[in-house]
């Protein structure tokens, strides 16, 4: 008598397949399940799911893959007693134009017209004259994205929320690539270096690569801007340990590539590719509005496919450069449905239409702002006076301690650098004395003081 297959077993297999919208083969599926199920048994389970029309199979032999049938809802009933269960595809609210794109992309591949790279799509864009984001929408996004660090040096706000951003953006961007790490797993990996049990090493590497790339953008704002060097550096960070050919890491590709699940064929000539990469970046540099600039990069970097792989990841982090540089709320892609993002990119690849990706971009940015609004409210507005004189302040505190002087107005005035403007000196003296009130062994390092230096000074003036 054949063994009865439990619904839970089928559900587990179906759930794993949903994480691979472009399909997954039997061997990779078996690895992903992480159970001791035999290939023959797994094939029988897959046949049962196909019979139930919950999944479909594509290809033959080694190229055979399974994926979820695109449906908007399923209904299963068992009698008696009567139970009903309904599931729906996770998506976002989209515009009528986005619906048109989605309807086309959801057709079987054989019904979609194969296309190549169209230079006209890029050529038709004129910086600060052409706008993918209408003016009213840009105004709305600016209002949403303002931060308490608006008037401070580039990258201040991103550095203020860096710990949160590292986790959110690393997790969400990786999840859009099919990574199965949970947010909690990601937090443990980033904060404690603790890899999640049962996860593929490549998934762990992907998360850590995101962390390194984000830190580079936030901490080196002087050099990490919209330029070819930064985009290539992002690829080097994000592709580290993930490329079949290690030499392709941080390098414009020299061979043709294909995009799984799409009828779009990117440009193949290396010289032309290098030229177009430079043009895309030069156009992006000219765009004055940070939101238009960000969205332009999200459209044209993946469309060009300048690298052998990891192009979409590069574009998602590159899209954050204008926000980091302008102290706007970053775009973390938190909670963006993977299928909505995939459909939107296919709309750009195959139709050169940006409306669905724009829907995703705006939804994602609003969601990111909602995530960080509480963080923004908790931030203390930066003291611009202190920022301006931070180096002089450090030098004054260090000089007083090393010279063994008491922290008073006379000592501060004597140690104060000449760079402090005359009209600012009273406020500078006041601020320096405030620093001494909070100075202790744990934070003395901020002023370049060694433990023994501070201990000797403290012993002399403790209680005075």
Domain ranges in the chain are 7-88, 96-378, 384-461
Inter-residue contact 152 to 382 (CB < 8 Å): yes
pLDDT of residue 84: 43
Instruction: Give the number of other Cβ atoms within 10 Å of residue 79's Cβ.
Output: 6
The domain over range 96-378 is classified in CATH as 1.10.3290.10? yes
pLDDT, mean over the chain: 87
CA 452 and chain centroid, separation: 43
Is 177 a residue whose pLDDT tops 60?
yes
pLDDT of residue 375: 59
Ramachandran region, residue 88 (left: φ > 0; alpha: ψ -120 to 50; beta: rest)? beta
Share of the chain above pLDDT 90, in %: 60
Is 86 a residue whose pLDDT tops 70?
no
Q: What is the C-alpha separation between 148 and 379, in angstroms, rounded?
A: 7
What angle do helix axes 355-378 and 96-105 make, rounded to 10 degrees?
120
pLDDT of residue 390: 87
Q: What is the C-alpha separation between 374 and 376, in angstroms, rounded?
A: 5
CA 1 and chain centroid, separation: 52
Is 111 a residue whose pLDDT tops 50?
yes
- Please state the pTM of the whole predicted model: 0.65
pLDDT of residue 77: 46
Is 254 a residue whose pLDDT tops 90?
yes
Q: Which residues contact 437 (CB under 8 A, 6 or more apart)?
A: none
Mean pLDDT throughout 125-139? 96
Q: What is the C-alpha separation between 74 and 52, in angstroms, rounded?
A: 11
What's the angle, vertex CA 179, arms to CA 27 and CA 230, rounded to 5?
125
Q: What is the C-alpha separation between 458 and 464, in angstroms, rounded?
A: 10
Q: Do domains 7-88 and 96-378 have the same CATH topology?
A: no
Q: Are strands 55-58 and 65-68 parallel, antiparallel or unpaired?
A: antiparallel
pLDDT of residue 74: 44
pLDDT of residue 344: 97
Instruction: Tell me the pLDDT tens digit for each residue of 311-359.
Output: 999 999 999 999 999 999 999 999 999 999 999 999 999 999 999 999 9
What angle do helix axes 311-318 and 162-175 make, rounded to 10 degrees?
150
CA 42 and chain centroid, separation: 35
Mean pLDDT throughout 95-110? 94
Peptide bond into 49 cis (omega under 30): no
Instruction: Tell me the pLDDT tens digit for each residue of 142-151.
Output: 999 887 766 7
> Which residue, chain included where needed, has tokens 């080097």?
236
Instruction: Tell me the pLDDT tens digit for each residue of 16-72.
Output: 788 787 788 888 888 877 766 777 788 888 888 887 777 888 777 677 888 876 544
The domain over range 7-88 is classified in CATH as 1.10.10.10? yes
Mean pLDDT throughout 194-205? 93
CA 361 and chain centroid, separation: 12
Inter-residue contact 332 to 316 (CB < 8 Å): no
Is 463 a residue whose pLDDT tops 80?
no
């Amino acid at each position: 008598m054949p063994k009865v297959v439990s619904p839970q077993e089928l559900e587990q297999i179906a759930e794993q397949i949903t994480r691979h919208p472009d399909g997954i083969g039997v061997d990779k599926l078996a690895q992903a399940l992480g159970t001791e199920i035999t290939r023959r048994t797994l094939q029988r389970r897959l046949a049962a799911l196909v019979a139930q029309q919950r999944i479909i199979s594509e290809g033959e032999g080694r190229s055979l893959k399974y994926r979820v049938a695109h449906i908007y809802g399923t209904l299963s009933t068992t009698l008696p007693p009567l139970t009903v269960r309904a599931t729906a595809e996770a998506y976002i609210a989209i515009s009528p134009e986005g619906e048109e794109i989605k309807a086309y992309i959801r057709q079987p591949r054989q019904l979609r017209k194969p296309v190549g790279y169209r230079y006209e799509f890029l050529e038709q864009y004129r910086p600060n004259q052409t706008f993918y984001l209408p003016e009213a929408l840009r105004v709305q996004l600016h209002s949403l994205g303002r931060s308490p660090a608006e008037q401070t040096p580039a990258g201040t706000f991103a550095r203020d929320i860096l710990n949160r951003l590292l986790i959110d953006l690393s997790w969400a961007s990786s999840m859009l690539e099919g990574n199965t790490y949970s947010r909690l797993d990601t937090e443990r990996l980033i904060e404690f270096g603790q890899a999640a049990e049962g996860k593929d090493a490549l998934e762990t590497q992907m998360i850590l690569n995101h962390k390194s790339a984000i830190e580079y953008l936030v901490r080196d704002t002087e050099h990490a801007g919209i330029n070819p060097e930064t985009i290539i550096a992002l690829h080097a960070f994000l592709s580290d340990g993930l490329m079949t050919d290690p030499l392709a890491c941080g390098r414009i590709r020299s061979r043709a590539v294909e995009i799984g699940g799409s009828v779009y064929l990117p440009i193949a000539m290396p010289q032309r590719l290098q030229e177009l990469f430079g043009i895309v970046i030069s156009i992006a540099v000219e765009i004055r509005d940070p939101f238009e600039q960000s969205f332009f990069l999200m459209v044209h970097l993946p469309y060009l496919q300048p690298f052998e792989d990891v192009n979409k990841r590069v574009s998602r982090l590159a899209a954050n450069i204008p926000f980091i540089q302008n102290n706007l709320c970053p775009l973390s892609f938190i909670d963006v449905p993977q299928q909505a993002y995939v459909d939107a990119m296919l709309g750009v690849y195959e139709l050169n239409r940006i409306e669905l990706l724009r829907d995703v971009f705006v939804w994602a940015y609003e969601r990111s702002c909602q995530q960080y609004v509480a963080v923004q409210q908790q931030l203390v507005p930066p003291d611009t006076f202190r920022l301006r004189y931070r180096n002089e302040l450090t030098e004054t505190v260090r000089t007083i301690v090393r010279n063994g002087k008491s922290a008073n107005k006379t000592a501060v005035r004597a140690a104060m650098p000449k760079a402090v403007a005359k009209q600012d000196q009273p406020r500078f003296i006041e601020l320096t004395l405030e620093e001494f009130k909070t100075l202790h062994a744990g934070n003395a390092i901020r002023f370049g003081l060694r433990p023994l230096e501070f201990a000797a000074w403290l012993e002399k003036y403790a209680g005075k």
